[in-house]
Amino acid sequence: MPRPKPKNAFKEESSIPLSLETHWFIGEKPKFPYPALRELGTILNADYQWESIDSAALDGSMDHIFIGAVIWEDEGSDIHATSDVITKIRVRWNSRDVNRTMSGEVKNIYTGPQLQEETGHTTDGPGKKITGEQLSLAADWYGGYILAYCKGRIGLHVGDGECWTLAYRALEEAGRQALRKDGREPPLLSTGRVHGHLIFEWHASPEYPVTVASGIMQHVPAAPIRAGDILELADGRFRAINLALSGLVKQEENVRFKAHTAVITALEDCTLKVIEQNGRIKSIVAENEYNLRNMVGGAVRIYRPLGVSLVSVSAGRRDVSASLSGVCDKW
């Protein structure tokens, strides 16, 4: 039987960039998923393994093999379900001369009975629903640490300067602080554009904007928006009209984001105050705000960072537990 084709052309194996020249695969913590991969779509989960062995050349160098995998969101689904495509990436290189020896390859595999047989993983169905109390506790446990990390880096360049990196590093620091100071488990780290439990989602349009009157900001499932929550904008378009000369002149400002990540510091009316990197100031951490009244296109999603023990619990409309168990064990 012929294998199914990915619904998205950019997930064809030949179209996936490897970005080997950036050396994202080197180091104790490879930068996976790397930025060029994250830009292709929403990644629900990612995993990797790598091994090193003495080179057969007996010259003291090491041969390295990295195998990584990502699960994509089904972009044709209204409920953000897991797609049937898992992309695997393998990179080989020798420590003596990385640039001359590095090589990479990509292949897509498709979920179903065959994959379950290969990995020993089966789907047992949705878990227990995350409660409002758990979401509130998660904000209490991690929100302050996430916020403190971001505030302490205003005016600085974090990691590779990308917006996503600030949120990821903030979650890492929150995990260290929660363990050291409180003896609590760390929050689940970002996988692609997913940063925990989806608590708010809105698809904007000029015909039905987000307003207080519409009640959108008051109807957040299970938990209110809190400082330390993580904002994701997808294909976001904001239009602000400023009046000048006593209203005789209108100045229209258009701001667009293909994909943008920021950490929320406060919600005032319909305005999300944030700390972000690579927003209005290129590759620098700065404060900003997004008035959702002015959002005329795209999607806004807000995530609540959660403890890792909740990773196996169904996160409402988005399954953050899409499993890659065993997928990276072999090519």
What confidence tens digit (pLDDT) does each residue in 88-139 have? Answer: 999 999 999 999 999 999 999 886 544 444 433 333 334 457 888 899 999 9
- Residue 306 sits in the same domain as residue 241: yes
Residues 121/123/127/130 CA torsion (nearest 10 deg): 80
Cα separation, 4 vs 200, whole angstroms: 33
- Residue 166 sits in the same domain as residue 237: yes
- Residue 140 sits in the same domain as residue 239: yes
- Residue 233 sits in the same domain as residue 92: no
- Residue 115 sits in the same domain as residue 193: no
Supply the Cα-derived Rg of the chain in whole angstroms: 21
Identify whether 1 is part of a domain: no
- Residue 117 sits in the same domain as residue 139: no
Find all residues with CB under 8 Å of 220, minimum gap 6, and list them. 199, 200, 302
Q: Which amino acid is at 204?
A: A
Residue 297, CB-side half-sphere exposure with 13 Å CA sphere: 9
How many other C-beta atoms can be found within 10 angstroms of the C-beta atom of residue 298?
20
- Residue 180 sits in the same domain as residue 120: no
- Residue 154 sits in the same domain as residue 191: yes
Identify whether 4 is part of a domain: no
- Residue 172 sits in the same domain as residue 261: yes
Q: Which residues form the domain of 191?
A: 132-310
**CB 328, CB 48: distance < 8 Å:** yes
Cα separation, 89 vs 213, whole angstroms: 48
First to last CA, the chain: 22
Identify whether 2 is part of a domain: no
Identify whether 122 is part of a domain: yes
Please return the burial class of 320, using the count of CB atoms within 10 Å of its CB with bins 0-12, 13-18 and 19+: buried
Question: How many separate domains does the chain show?
Answer: 2
Cα separation, 174 vs 178, whole angstroms: 6
- Residue 85 sits in the same domain as residue 203: no
Identify whether 102 is part of a domain: yes
- Residue 165 sits in the same domain as residue 259: yes
Residue 90, CB-side half-sphere exposure with 13 Å CA sphere: 11
In tens digits, the chain (331 residues) has pLDDT values of 344 444 454 467 888 999 999 999 998 778 888 988 888 877 777 888 889 999 888 888 999 999 999 888 777 655 456 677 889 999 999 999 999 999 999 999 886 544 444 433 333 334 457 888 899 999 999 999 999 999 999 999 999 899 999 999 999 999 999 999 999 999 998 877 889 988 888 877 766 666 655 555 655 555 789 999 999 998 888 877 665 555 555 555 566 777 899 999 999 888 899 999 999 899 999 999 998 888 888 888 899 999 988 754 444 344 444 567 678 888 8
* CATH code, domain with 140: 3.90.1720
